[in-house]
């Protein structure tokens, strides 16, 4: 749940996948790590959606607006 789609699909790790992981870290900081990313999905559902690029990350409500803009790039 913390890996970029290309890491799961192609076992490819790049600067882009590192940036993705950083975004997940920021998400966890602002949710205070109280829940898993997409905890409403089973692992199988998550993998399928991830492979089809159907995962939409939403910033936590308390994420500063400036940081939200950066994360959405």
User: Which long-range CB contacts under 8 A does 58-65 form with residues at least 24 apart?
Assistant: 59/27, 59/30, 60/27, 60/30, 60/31, 62/30, 63/26, 63/27, 63/30
- Taking only the tens place, the pLDDT of each residue in 8-47 is 888 999 999 998 888 888 888 888 888 788 889 998 998 8
The closest of 49, 46, 69 to 59, measured between CA atoms, is 69
Confidence category of residue 73, pLDDT binned at 50, 70, 90: low
The whole domain housing 17 covers 5-71
Please tell me the predicted confidence (pLDDT) of residue 8: 85
The number of distinct structural domains making up the chain is 1
Alpha carbon distance 56, 34 (integer Å): 19
- Taking only the tens place, the pLDDT of each residue in 54-68 is 888 777 788 888 888
């Amino acid at each position: 749940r913390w890996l970029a789609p290309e890491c799961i699909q192609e076992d490819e790790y790049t600067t882009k996948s590192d940036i993705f992981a950083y975004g997940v870290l920021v998400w966890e900081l602002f949710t205070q790590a109280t829940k898993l990313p997409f905890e409403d999905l089973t692992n199988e559902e998550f993998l399928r959606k991830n492979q089809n690029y159907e995962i939409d990350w939403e910033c936590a409500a308390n994420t500063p607006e400036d940081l939200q803009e950066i994360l959405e790039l």
